[in-house]
Structures are given as structure tokens and as C-alpha cells.
């Protein structure tokens, strides 16, 4: 049902690399948005793409705290975990 952290990481790394026309190998979990020359407008556009990709909603106030690719991956993982429906087998 849920994607693993590796799945989320690879999808986000691919998205970020594509958005900046970079090879995927140039984007790592600890790569900062400053290193990638991602400005606030890029960050907003990326957040929309991530929201659509993972069917989540990123709170606007969270955008300012995202500094690295890993921050986005961890944020998506926690938002998806919070949005996961309760265990269906419990009913």
C-alpha cells in the first residue's frame, strides 16, 4: 500500500533533477536547494508537483523549513503516513 522511503526518495530526486535539467546523480538527500539554485518560486512549483505526485497537501508554512532534498522526502513520508487510512483489517 504505502511507498517505501526509497521509493519516495527516488521519485523526488528524479523530479528535482528534471526540474533543474540536471542528471539524477547530481541530486542527493543532503543536496541543498541553494546548491541546486532553487529559489522560492521553484520551491512553490516543486511543492505543487510533489503534492500532485503523492496526493498530499503540503502546508504553506512548511515550505520555508524545506532546505534540502531530504527535507522534502521526510516531509512527504510523514504527510503520507498521517494521511494513511487506519488498518482496514481491524474492522
**What pLDDT does 88 receive?**
54
Residue range 5-17, pLDDT digits in tens: 899 999 999 999 9
- CA gap 82, 40 in Å, rounded: 26
Close Cβ partners of 75 (under 8 Å, ≥ 6 residues apart): 58, 62, 66
Residue range 17-66, pLDDT digits in tens: 999 999 999 999 999 999 999 999 999 999 999 999 999 999 988 888 99
Q: Which long-range contacts (CB under 8 A, 24 or more apart) does 36-44 make?
A: 36/69
> Do 9 and 73 touch, CB atoms closer than 8 A?
yes
- Identify any residues that bridge with 32 across adjacent strands, giving them in sequence order: 68
Amino acid at each position: 500500500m504505502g511507498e517505501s522511503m526509497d521509493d519516495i526518495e527516488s521519485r523526488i530526486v528524479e523530479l528535482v533533477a528534471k526540474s533543474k535539467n540536471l542528471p539524477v546523480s547530481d541530486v542527493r538527500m543532503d543536496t541543498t536547494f541553494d546548491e541546486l539554485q532553487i529559489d522560492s518560486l521553484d520551491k512553490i512549483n516543486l511543492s505543487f508537483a510533489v503534492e500532485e505526485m503523492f496526493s498530499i497537501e503540503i502546508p504553506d508554512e512548511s515550505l520555508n523549513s524545506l532546505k534540502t532534498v531530504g527535507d522534502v522526502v521526510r516531509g512527504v513520508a510523514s504527510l503520507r503516513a498521517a494521511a494513511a487510512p487506519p488498518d482496514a483489517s481491524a474492522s
